[in-house]
Structures are given as C-alpha cells and as structure tokens.
Structure 1
C-alpha cells in the first residue's frame, strides 16, 4: 500500500467508530442474500443479535487504526484464524467477502466513497486477506500433520450422552472410522455442525472440549440455550439435547483455539468461570490432575444454583486428587447449602482471600460482562494484564 492509501484508510476511522456496526450489518445482509450458501457457515443467532456484525466492525476498526503496523494485531489474527479454521473457511471465501465488503463501503458511504478510497480499502483488504490466509494455512497443515488429525469435517459417533445438570449435558464423541483422534491443548474447542430444519441450512457451533486429551474421544458439555427476547433459542444446543441420541453420527472439525493452558508454567493458576464457562477449565484441571502437575489451583465458579451446577462432584473429586486446590462457589440463591466455600450472590473476588495469588496465571471464561468485571478487578489489584487470559463465548468483541 502507498502512504496515501494508508492515510485514506486511517481517515475512515471516525466513520467506523460511529457507523461501523451499521456498515457490517449491511455487509452481512448483502453477502448472505447474494451468496446464500454461506448461511451454512455463519451462526444465524449471532446475526440476529448483532454480535457478529459488532465483532466484525471492531476488527475492521482495529485494522484501520493499525494499518501502518498490522503486526500489533498478531494475537487477534491468531484468535480469528483459529475460529476460521474451525469453520472450514478457505481462501476462496475471502474473494466473496472482499467483493461484498467493498460494495458495502461504496453503497453505505455514497458520495463520500471516492474511487481513491475504494482502491485504498481494496489494497488494505487484500493485505489483510493475505495475512489471514497465511495464518490459516499454517493451522490447517498443523492439524493434518498430527496423529489422528484431519481437515474440514469428520463424522463422529455419540457413544455416551450424560446429563451433568438441569441445563448441561455431555456428549462423548468417537470417530466413526474408529481411528485415533488428534491431540489438543487443554482449553481448546471443536466445532459441531448439524442440519437445522427450521432454517434449512447447516449450522456450526463451537464447544469447548471438557476432558483431558486421551487419543480416543472428545467430550463436549453443552448448555441448552432457551430463547428470550434478546436472543432466539439455541438451534444446535436444542437439537443436541432433544434429538441427538447415543449412536447418532454428527460432523466435527479439528480442535482449535488459543485460550489454552500453558503446559510449561509451574506457577499457581486461578480459574474464574460463570455458568457453562467452566467447560474449558474441566479439561485443564483434568489434565493437570492426570499428569501430576502440582501447580496450586484456585477454582472459582458461579451459577444460578445447585440444580444448574454442572460437574459439582467431579470438580471436588479432581480437587481431592490434585491435592493443592481450593474451591469457591457462588450461587445466585444459596438454597440449603451451608458449606464454607459457598457464597450467595454473583462471583465477587474481593470475598475470596486467595483470589489474588503472587505470580499466578488467571483464566476467565463466561459472558462478556462477567469477563470485563473480573479483568478490571484483577488489574486494580495490581495483577499484570499479561497474566490474565480470557475467552468470551460467541464472536469476540472484547479488546482489553
């Protein structure tokens, strides 16, 4: 890109800050109308709530702001690349996206979209596409090279279906070809793809792997998402709970994700989860327990109450085996539990004596508002932001 083109792109930053979501919403509507086959790739619920357009708007804004040095976005690029690989996004998709993104800029900005500006954004998008395609090619190659690895979709059999709470059920997935399954880092997810009759399309959903690597199966633990005014009910989660039974075959893409346990770190670790956000931590805790890792663990979890508290007894058992773990549980309403490690109300780190641990690594998983609250508290207590790792379920919109 020329310096003049970079200045033109940076000049659109104020517009993106004010109208970015409107632009990306228009873009998705345009693209999915003219290329309906992509409805099999994108999460329809995230389109409905605006989460996907918001995430894209923030990504486009960040890229425009750092057009002089895109390398500062390496972490974000890696996270997005992992998500794209899990959805089987390929280089040819970038041409379609670029076509509709440039057309959307032209149509939304109207007379303000000069030919020079469109040319500048075409160059910028081409540069970004090259970065993403390169990052994704590396992830695809790495996945295929693993023992038991594969690319794209692979059929898996549901051999066990176990109810963990009123809302969360675990599915034990074994490859239908009876071969090995690729290893993964504790904290990673797999993507499940199911046909949704109401939408007449396939819908992919990412679910954290909730067991330690074992070479034979993956376990996902899925919360049944009931609908409410701000969000439709979960198409895929309801299909899994209601219609997928033991013996059924579903499509799965390889493990992905960069929210992972550092296997070489020997310092203490603090897990902070809300609701179904404990699932990646189940994999991490099980791995540390089975591998004899003696890192001190502080386990902090919050949910609405006893009946929806998944893995309650399993965590206690793993904690006992681990031998260096403290547990703290918050229920919105206490009910009849009088144990010292239980608290009434939302997760509140200031009520926990060992929440702040010197040299600890912190992992937070749950809704965006949950992550922001605890990230801010930890930073205010002097915790290095680089020691805080988080994963937001759904399209990533948090930048901290």
Structure 2
C-alpha cells in the first residue's frame, strides 16, 4: 500500500490526469516503441494506430489515481487486465520498462508541473500497482502450468482442420505438437496467437469457439479487410490465406473473465457477428450439460455472414432446452423469414419482451460496439439486475455506456 503522502499527491494530480491522460499515454506508447521496438511483438499495433490502446491505458491510470486509497474498487479491472497480460505471457521485467516510460511521458507532457515530488509519488504508486499485477499473473501462470496439458508462455500447436463457417469466418482446429492433450479452459475464454511478420511479430487474441473437454482447441476467425500500412487485418488475412492443415501456430494460455458462471437460472446468449465465437463455446457447454434452458439470439447481416447457423439449428432440433432466434439486418433475396431468420433489423426491447418469459436469467452478450451498446441499454431498460449481466469489452467504458446511435 502506498504511503499516505503518496496517496495524497496522486489524488491531487487526478484533475490534471483527467485533462492530459490521453496525451500522456499517446506520448508513452510513441516513446516506448521507439526505444523498445521488440515490444511490437506483444502489443496489438492496430490498437496503437487507431488510438484505442492509449485510451484504455489512459482510463486505467485515471481510475487508479481516483481509487488509489480504495483498491478494492479496482479488483475487477485488475483481474481483467491480469488475465489479458497472462495470455500475452507478460514478464515482471516488462513492468520496469513500462514504469520508466510512463514517468518519462508524464514529465514530457506536464513539463515543469511534473515536480520531483509528483514524479516520486507516481513512481511509488506505479511500483505498488505493478506488484499487484506481477503477483496475480504469476499465480495464473503457476495454476495453469500444473494442469494436464498446461504450459507457461507460448506452446506450439498444429492445425488439424480448417473449416469455412461463413463468407467471412473460418474455424481452425488445433492440437498440441507434443501430443500431451489439450488443457481445460472455461467457456468464453480466449487465447493469444503470435505469427511472424516482415518487421515484427503480430499477436492477437481469439476466443475459443468450442466447449472444453475436446481433444482439440478451436478458434474461429473473421477475415478483416486489410489496410495498407496499417496493422488491421494482418493476422486474420494470414490465417485465411496462408494457414492450412499442418501449419504450426504458437498459442498463449487460455485466459479471460468473460466465462460461463455456474448456476441453475435460464441463460440468454446474445451475439452479433463474430461475437458469436465465445458464446458458441458457452452454448455447446450448456447443451452438453443439459440442465439449463437457453435462449440463443444471434444478429448477422444475412445468411452469407451467418456463422454456425446449421450447427445451432441442429442443437435446437435435438434439445427442448434450446430456443434459437436469428436477426438479419440486410437479408438477401434468397433469405426467407421464418426459415433462415426470425426478425429483420436490430434486436429490440419489444422483441426481447416477447421472447423472454422473465428477466430473472443470466445474460451474456458479445459483438461489435454498437451491438453491445444496444444490448446493454435494452437490458437496463428491462430492469435486468447488473449481477445477471455479463460481457467483455475491450475499450473505454464510456464508449460502451454511450447511447447507441440510431443512424
């Protein structure tokens, strides 16, 4: 725990951080990659180029300064970040590099306002926070590597099957090269993959899209449009174009807190686009357990982009526990309402009220930002308890809680 003096100074700097937080984090990342280009192997450079990572870090720093004397308020955020770091195999040494860079950026942006006293206080505060992360991440590493099939860092897997799920999404079935079997994981978790690029490696997180307990791990990747001189689409295009059966892939450990929670309440799964992947893992696990009623609602553009359609229909035909509903916002001429899809347009409060007999259920949702904004707004309008609402969103919280656009 930071000293009383440090807590006072850090809290006093809160208004300044609120004003300059994104300038500080943008400066930090610029300097970081100039001084340590090897870290480009770890960070998602798309999120660097579009400024998303800087916004996320800025929010994290601001909230830390606000709650430095109430660290229990940050426990959820700490666990989410620690899980992300564990998937990337972040080491304690990297915290030293980041800490030095962050203090340097504060000095550069604030100038003379960044007095030695302020820098000293933030150095102590950062050291305490880094210690919390290092301790938690080490525990995650230790817990996982002793499990059957577990490991630390990255492990080589072979692609044993490549299967097209839609015009944009393809699944890759992976088995460990050492033949030791696949590890257990929680439905909804993700893994990181690292592939070599021309200038540096590229690391991305992809949800595991099938239930645990199989002799393979499955990821299902949407092909993103490639942009010249921009990191977007580099990894997804590589998988779609270059990766075939027999290809070798380096995987990080399964991580993430957006997981299926135990219980006996009915479950509502709401997915938009490629957001279906973690929910497919949850759906398959729930159907295998065969105990809870499941409402599965998926929103897609049309049948061309609708992944896992036949699989979900088959599950629905086989089990009276599953009730499936499909939303298309731009159905093709061949798409038939009542056969290929159930509703045209966006998921709405009116439709949810007509489908669900009660809101006393566990809700899980994942998809693009506008989809998630819409669903979160609807669930709150319906009066769903916050403890029954589960999602994972990579981005500033303000974006998710913004009023969804109707345009």
Q: Identify the TM-score tier after normalising by the shorter chain.
A: over 0.9
- Which residue pairs with 1:270 in the alignment? 268
CA distance in 2, matches of 1:383, 1:278: 22
Q: What displacement does 1:321 show?
A: 2.6
Q: What displacement does 1:307 show?
A: 0.2
Q: Deviations over 1:184-216 (max 9, x none)?
A: 01111111110122xx11111111101111242
- Which residue pairs with 1:113 in the alignment? 114
Identify unmatched segments of 5+ residues in structure 1: none
- Which residue pairs with 1:347 in the alignment? 347
* Contact 2:363/2:389, CA 8 A, preserved across alignment: yes
**SS at 1:370's partner residue?**
helix
1:187-266 to 2 correspondences below 5 Å = 187-197=188-198, 200-227=199-226, 233-262=232-261, 264-266=262-264
Count of equivalent residues: 394
**SS at 1:162's partner residue?**
strand
- Which residue pairs with 1:314 in the alignment? 311
- Which residue pairs with 1:334 in the alignment? 331
CA distance in 1, matches of 2:195, 2:8: 44
CA distance in 2, matches of 1:358, 1:233: 38
CA distance in 2, matches of 1:276, 1:337: 22
Indicate which of 280, 286, 289 corresponds to 1:288.
286
CA distance in 2, matches of 1:128, 1:313: 47
- Which residue pairs with 1:152 in the alignment? 153
**SS at 2:254's partner residue?**
strand
Identify unmatched segments of 5+ residues in structure 2: 402-407
- Which residue pairs with 2:404 in the alignment? none
CA distance in 2, matches of 1:213, 1:179: 15
CA distance in 1, matches of 2:227, 2:34: 26
Q: What displacement does 1:289 show?
A: 1.3
**SS at 1:318's partner residue?**
helix
Q: What displacement does 1:74 show?
A: 0.7
**SS at 1:196's partner residue?**
coil
- Which residue pairs with 1:75 in the alignment? 76
Q: Deviations over 1:276-310 (max 9, x none)?
A: 00101111111111222x21111111111110000
1:398 paired with 2:400, answer: no
CA distance in 1, matches of 2:14, 2:369: 24
CA distance in 2, matches of 1:299, 1:231: 35
Q: What displacement does 1:349 show?
A: 3.6
Q: TM-score under structure 1 normalisation?
A: 0.95
- Which residue pairs with 2:184 in the alignment? 183
Q: What displacement does 1:228 show?
A: 6.3
Q: What displacement does 1:230 show?
A: 12
CA distance in 2, matches of 1:382, 1:396: 25
Q: Deviations over 1:62-102 (max 9, x none)?
A: 11110101121111111100100100101110000000001
Q: What displacement does 1:227 show?
A: 3.9
Farther-moved stretch of structure 1 (210-219 vs 186-195): 210-219
- Which residue pairs with 2:138 in the alignment? 137
